[in-house]
């Protein structure tokens, strides 16, 4: 087994392709045993970051260190990391056990140990009874488990996973998510996990790193990133689907009184906005209530589309100034109905309009900083 480490440090890690900066000065410290998710939409640079860690892409700037050892110029196979990709990349002609044992053979582990360790890894991913089959005889989820077993059997000091669940159907994805979390908890392997799925990141990771255009926007625990998104972009990614253009009528401490579309609403100031200025009020659909249920303001809206979602309706409505809002309700509504919507002030985050202010630096976690250049 490779030695464990206490800190993996990314120091201004950068990677450009020609003139395009795919990753810009990423600063991050990952503690041994931690599960970190790199999160962001397609093209934000998360795979680039993972490939830089793996050694598959040379850096164009910065350094990566494992404790005091600089590793960014070490060949991938000598880093002692395990990788799990979106495509399972199994050997089709080998059995499940053969696939899992392959790396151990390459590492010249004694034969008796190979059998024992391969069987143990198969047990962990619950594939013991499929050990003799070939990958082609397995379902997608089972193949992905073989890929995971193959990565963990070597007890790598770092496991890197790039969207490992994205080829699975929804229910299998949920099942495998739990499986990955369980394995992480029982083995304590340090894991860096790339995903564009905020729910996956929130449910799996100890800490999330949100990227945009190669620049880190926020790093924090799931509670921090979900509850206190650092900027408008992160908020949008964390389920704040309503981004309403508003005017700040007055400011009292961090409470802002907002005006728009014949509406009155109070929100929390996230960008030091001043009275008279413009802002964007970010609200999750589940935090907008049909008034009467909640005392926070009054937003008149006309219902346009109603979707049945079992216990709730997902509703799209329009404000008098033409802006659209989305909300959820347990009540009955039909297109054409008029309602007053409301939201608790602490559920309304008010940011500066895009382009008027750089993303806010993050102060939640000491020693981590958002890079805004």
- Binding footprint of ligand ATP on the chain (CB under 6 A): 17, 20, 22, 40, 42-48, 196
Cβ proximity to ligand ATP, 42 vs 171, nearer residue: 42
CA 281 – CA 289 distance, rounded (Å):
15
Cβ of residue 232: shortest distance to ligand ATP, in angstroms?
Answer: 19
Q: 252 burial class (0-12, 13-18, 19+ CB within 10 angstroms)?
A: exposed
Strand partners, 63: 11
Cβ of residue 359: shortest distance to ligand ATP, in angstroms?
Answer: 17
Cβ proximity to ligand ATP, 17 vs 91, nearer residue: 17
Cβ of residue 262: shortest distance to ligand ATP, in angstroms?
Answer: 41
Exposure string of 348-364, with b = 16+ CB inside 10 Å and e = fewer, is: bbbbbbeeeeebbebee
- Please identify which residue in the block is written with the tokens 């990614």: 237
Cβ proximity to ligand ATP, 44 vs 83, nearer residue: 44
Cβ proximity to ligand ATP, 38 vs 122, nearer residue: 38
Cβ of residue 34: shortest distance to ligand ATP, in angstroms?
Answer: 21
- Taking the C-alpha atoms of 67, 72, 74 and 80 in order, what is their torsion angle to the nearest 10 degrees? 60
Closest by alpha carbon to 372, among 10, 16, 26? Answer: 26
Cβ of residue 168: shortest distance to ligand ATP, in angstroms?
Answer: 16
**15 and 59 Cβ atoms separated by less than 8 Å:** yes
Q: Is the dihedral of CA 341, 345, 347, 350 positive or negative?
A: positive
Cβ proximity to ligand ATP, 40 vs 220, nearer residue: 40
Cβ proximity to ligand ATP, 41 vs 330, nearer residue: 41
Please give the DSSP secondary-structure letter assigned to residue 3: P
Cβ of residue 59: shortest distance to ligand ATP, in angstroms?
Answer: 13
Exposure string of 283-296, with b = 16+ CB inside 10 Å and e = fewer, is: bbbebbbbbeeeeb
Cβ proximity to ligand ATP, 47 vs 143, nearer residue: 47
Cβ proximity to ligand ATP, 20 vs 108, nearer residue: 20
Token pair, residue 238, equals 């964390």
DSSP 21-76: EEEEEEEEEEETT-EEEEE-STTSSHHHHHHHHHTSS--SEEEEEETTEE-TTS-G
Cβ of residue 85: shortest distance to ligand ATP, in angstroms?
Answer: 11
Cβ of residue 48: shortest distance to ligand ATP, in angstroms?
Answer: 3
């Amino acid at each position: 087994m490779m030695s464990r480490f206490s800190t993996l440090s990314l120091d201004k890690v950068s990677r450009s392709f020609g003139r395009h900066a795919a990753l810009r000065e990423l600063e991050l410290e990952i503690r041994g045993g931690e599960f970190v998710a790199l999160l962001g939409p397609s093209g934000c640079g998360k795979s680039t970051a993972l490939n830089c860690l793996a050694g598959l892409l040379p850096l164009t700037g910065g350094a990566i260190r494992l404790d005091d050892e600089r590793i960014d110029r070490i060949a991938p196979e000598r880093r002692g990391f395990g990788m799990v990709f979106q495509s399972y990349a199994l050997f089709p002609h080998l059995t499940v056990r053969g696939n899992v044992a392959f790396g151990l053979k390459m590492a010249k582990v004694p034969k008796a140990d190979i059998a024992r360790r391969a069987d143990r890894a198969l047990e962990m991913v619950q594939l013991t009874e499929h050990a003799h089959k070939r990958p082609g005889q397995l379902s997608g989820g089972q193949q992905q488990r073989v890929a995971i077993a193959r990565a963990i059997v070597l007890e790598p000091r770092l496991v890197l996973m790039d969207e490992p669940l994205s080829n699975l159907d929804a229910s299998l994805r949920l099942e495998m998510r739990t499986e990955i979390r369980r394995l992480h908890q029982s083995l304590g392997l340090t894991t860096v996990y790339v995903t564009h799925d905020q729910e996956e990141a929130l449910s799996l990771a100890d800490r999330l790193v949100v990227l945009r255009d190669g620049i880190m926007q926020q790093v924090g625990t799931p509670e921090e990133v979900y509850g206190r998104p650092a900027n408008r972009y992160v908020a949008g990614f964390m389920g704040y689907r309503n981004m309403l253009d508003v005017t700040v009528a007055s400011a009292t401490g961090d409470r802002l009184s907002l005006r728009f579309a014949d509406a009155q609403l109070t929100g929390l100031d996230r960008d030091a906005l001043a009275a008279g200025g413009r802002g964007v009020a970010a609200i999750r659909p589940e935090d907008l209530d049909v008034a009467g249920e909640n005392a926070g303001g009054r937003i008149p809206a006309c219902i346009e589309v109603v979707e049945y979602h079992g216990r709730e309706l997902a509703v799209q409505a329009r404000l008098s100034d033409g802006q659209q809002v989305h909300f959820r309700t347990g009540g009955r509504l039909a297109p054409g109905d008029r309602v007053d919507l409301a939201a608790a002030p602490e559920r309304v985050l008010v940011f500066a309009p895009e382009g008027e202010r750089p993303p806010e630096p993050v102060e939640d976690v000491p020693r981590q900083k958002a890079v805004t250049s």
